[in-house]
Chains A and B, each alone.
Chain A
Amino acid sequence: MAVVFEKTRGLAEKPFHYCPGCTHGIIHRLVAESLDELNLIDDAIGVAPVGCAVFAYDYFNCDMQEAAHGRAPATATGIKRVHPKSAVFTYQGDGDLASIGAAEIVHAAMRGEKITTIFVNNAIYGMTGGQMAPTTLVGQKATTAPYGRDENHAGMPLRISEMLATIPKAVFVERVSVHDVKHIIQAKKAIKKAFQTQMEGKGFSLVEVVSTCPTNWGKTPIEALKWLQENMIPYYPLGNFRNTEEVK
């Protein structure tokens, strides 16, 4: 029988702990495949976040460090400065990156750190049980926004990709989604491009992946994908915000 699906060498043997229908698993696979296909995996060094993806350090088949909540871009900066030839990446949730780690990501981008950030935006704090994230949509309920996010109290959700794209040395910024096969293929292209940008030494790269959290959204996996398309994508439009072609 022909092998139609082979697990990428970029992933370790450990089974994922994610909830059924959670898109973290797909995103892990795309990152791992990209690193493998670009022949980067053996020298790659990743930084895991504090969030549901904390155990990413067990899932990627490369050296990994676990960072404090939100500090992954700073940790990755330290790593990259020691190993400038390695592919260095952070994998962060929206609480981790856009809330507590907002300063670290902005300054890593400002310095043009030659790292790649995979930013998983599921509009909620998954790990801690469904609290409001900076990316939670207006009106969306969360355990710390039990009446729905009120923009007059908690402000408007942050559009990280648009914001970072204003930083000169953030040379590759793209927002993708993984809600169907077509988008998964596009997402992988963007992730590969981000790593290539890093390896060409051009500057900071980030791929934002609009993602689901069926558990804390209180939805089935199918409902969650539908909700993502109908609610997240209109506010978080997919597309490229920055790429090296425009960078001189």
Chain B
Amino acid sequence: MAKELWKGNEAVAEAAIKAGCRFFFGYPITPQNEIPEYMAMKMPQIDGCFLQAESEVAAINMVYGAAGAGARVMTSSSSPGISLKQEGITYIAGAELPCVIVNMVRGGPGLGSIQPAQSDYFQACKGGGHGDYRLIVLAPASVQEAVDLVQEAFDIADQYRNPVMILGDGMMGQMMEPVEFKEVKKRSLPEKTWATVGTKGKRKPNVVNSLYIDAADCHNHNVDLFKKYAEIEKNEVRVDTYNVENAEIVFVAYGTTARIVKNAINSLAKEGIKAGLIRPVTLWPYPYKAIEEAAEKASVKAFMSVEMSMGQMVEDVKLGANGKKPVYFYGKAGGAFPTPKGIAEEAKKILGGAK
């Protein structure tokens, strides 16, 4: 198929439909409105269901119900709305239901701004809701990658019976790029024998639930969840690297920021400074190993986490580097973004100091 220009938000919606998603529950919020709007236009044409919920709290609980009932289901929002969805997300994780949640992040805290940001790293990767649970978090850096990852996200969710979050930002949602909708490789998926579809009088009732009133039972449920999470950590880590070989400074950045960093790397190269990039594609599970391996390279003098936040992922970079090399941070928050120039200057400062 030839490439077509797609706006990030609309491409994400179309990708979900192509992946077999027929249920979408959402609530308007900038900068992701084109996702529900696209779903409102398309779902009625393909016998799917788009519903605008009365709130994000309701939307995520509609997702809970539909996922428990065995459907491929998605919701999308942006930061303040995702905060509201956290209640539902922890219930979905606790009840082990598959679904896809898109977060086109904007500046916070509070009402913040509507411009692109990456300050939801913590609420995506480190809980957000209560209890010990993990969300699988995928961070595309282009509209094409968003399309590919959304399609796969539904399979990943089904395979592990776990919610998957696509973590983009306002820039990803709003920009247009050429996209090709490729056939993604389908995983062989377990049957949803646990779903509430009616017993038909042929089996014992299924119960979708996250309550384990006995502490020991609840503990065991957590242990089981963590066996599953270990499996995901083993199988699903994804990372992209650029020029890490012989780099003196290794940037770590995800999503659209990684692209800004690439510009900085190329301008540093013109000045004879070797810089590389580690771009986590999965934010959970996190590619600690790629960081660790780079930290062990003699050429690498320092890491720099570059984010559209005041410094959130940098904590994971530090865990990966494990004290072997210094880890610096550079970022802009609230909807402002680091520029290639700013990044390059900061890197030169660090290298000057690290020599």
A residues in contact (CB < 8 Å) with B? 50, 54, 66, 68-70, 95, 99-100, 102, 125, 127-129, 131-132, 134, 143-147, 153-154
Contacts and interface: CB of A to CB of B under 8 A. Distances in A.
B30 A128 contact: yes
Nearest to B37: A143
A99 B111 CA distance: 18
A100 B33 contact: no
Contacts of A145: 40, 52
A102 B111 CA distance: 20
B54 A100 contact: yes
Given A128-B29, A144-B28, A102 B54 contact: yes
A149 B29 CA distance: 19
Given A54-B111, A99-B54, A128-B28, A69 B37 contact: no
A213 B244 CA distance: 54
B178 interface: no
B111 A70 contact: no
Nearest to A99: B54
Given A50-B111, A128-B33, A131-B33, A68 B80 contact: yes
A70 B37 contact: no
B55 A132 contact: no
A80 B36 CA distance: 37
B44 interface: yes
B27 interface: yes
Contacts of B28: 95, 125, 128-129, 131, 144
B111 A147 contact: no
B41 interface: yes
Could you say which of B30, B50, B54, B110 has the most chain A C-beta atoms within 10 Å of its C-beta? B54
Contacts of B80: 68-69
Contacts of A134: 54
Interface string B23-52: 000011110010011001100100000111
Given A129-B30, A129-B33, A66 B111 contact: yes
B88 to A, nearest CB: 14
Contacts of A70: 55
Contacts of B36: 131, 144
**A-B pairs, 10 with minimum CB distance:** A100-B55, A131-B28, A128-B28, A144-B40, A143-B37, A99-B54, A144-B52, A146-B41, A144-B36, A125-B28
Contacts of B56: 100
Nearest to B83: A68
22 contacts: A50-B111, A54-B111, A66-B111, A68-B80, A68-B110, A69-B80, A70-B55, A99-B27, A100-B27, A127-B30, A128-B29, A128-B33, A129-B28, A131-B28, A132-B52, A143-B40, A144-B40, A144-B50, A144-B52, A145-B40, A153-B51, A154-B52
A54 B112 CA distance: 12
Given A68-B80, A134-B54, A145-B52, 10 more contacts: A68-B111, A127-B30, A128-B28, A131-B28, A131-B37, A143-B37, A143-B40, A144-B36, A153-B51, A154-B52
Contacts of B50: 144
A102 B33 CA distance: 22
Nearest to B55: A100
Contacts of A95: 28
A2 to B, nearest CB: 43
B187 to A, nearest CB: 32
Contacts of B37: 131, 143-144, 146
A144 B51 CA distance: 9
Contacts of B44: 147
Nearest to B39: A144
Contacts of A66: 111
A50 B28 CA distance: 12
A154 to B, nearest CB: 7
Given A68-B80, A144-B40, A146-B41, A99 B55 contact: yes
A153 to B, nearest CB: 8
A68 B30 CA distance: 15
B54 A146 contact: no
A50 B27 CA distance: 14
A100 B56 CA distance: 8
A213 B96 CA distance: 43
Nearest to B27: A100
B302 to A, nearest CB: 40
A70 B56 CA distance: 11
A36 B29 CA distance: 35
A10 to B, nearest CB: 24
A203 to B, nearest CB: 26
A228 to B, nearest CB: 22
Contacts of B30: 127-129
B107 to A, nearest CB: 15
Nearest to B41: A146
Nearest to A95: B28
Contacts of A128: 28-30, 33
Nearest to B58: A100
A134 B37 CA distance: 16
B119 to A, nearest CB: 17
Interface centre among B27, B36, B41, B44, by most chain A C-beta atoms within 10 angstroms, is B27
B53 to A, nearest CB: 9
